[in-house]
A = this chain, B = another copy of it.
Amino acid sequence: MEARIKLWLEQDGRIVMSDYRLQLLRHIEETGSLADGAARMGLSYRRAWGKVKELEQHFGRPLVESTAGGPGGGHTILTPAAHDLVARFMAIQERLEAEVRRLTAEHFPPTEAARSAL
């Protein structure tokens, strides 16, 4: 038996972080581009942009920062507030996952049969 969880953060009843949103932000950060981050998620630029703007509205602060044009083209990075939000989300997630594993082992201890089959 395995206990599994999904975690998300809400502010005033509106989602400000989840696994899916975390992935989108990380892909943007890794590629340095909203378009490339969107592509990695299989999202259109328009849809990814909408997601980020929605998140920013729910959170009440900018999460991405873009510099336009220049010789190397535009670039998008996460704001310090986004890094902070992501870090707290991941810290909570990590602790909860550990707790879930502990609780599973406590409430569904492996049977003798399962142990000897290992």
User: Which residues from chain A sit less than 8 Å from chain B, CB to CB?
Assistant: 1-11, 16, 88, 91-92, 95-96, 99-100, 103-104, 107-108
Residues of B within 8 A of A4 (CB): 7-10
Residues of B within 8 A of A91 (CB): 103, 107
Contact of A3 among B1, B2, B92 (CB under 8 A): B92
A88 & B100 in contact (Cβ 8 Å cutoff): no
Neighbour of A92 across the interface among B6, B11, B92, B107, CB < 8 A: B107
**Cα distance, A99 to B94, chains bound together (Å):** 12
CA distance A100 to B88 in the complex (A): 13
23 contacts between A and B (CB under 8 A): A1-B11, A1-B16, A2-B9, A2-B10, A2-B11, A3-B8, A3-B9, A3-B10, A3-B92, A4-B8, A4-B9, A4-B10, A5-B5, A5-B7, A5-B8, A6-B6, A88-B108, A91-B103, A92-B100, A92-B103, A92-B107, A96-B96, A96-B100
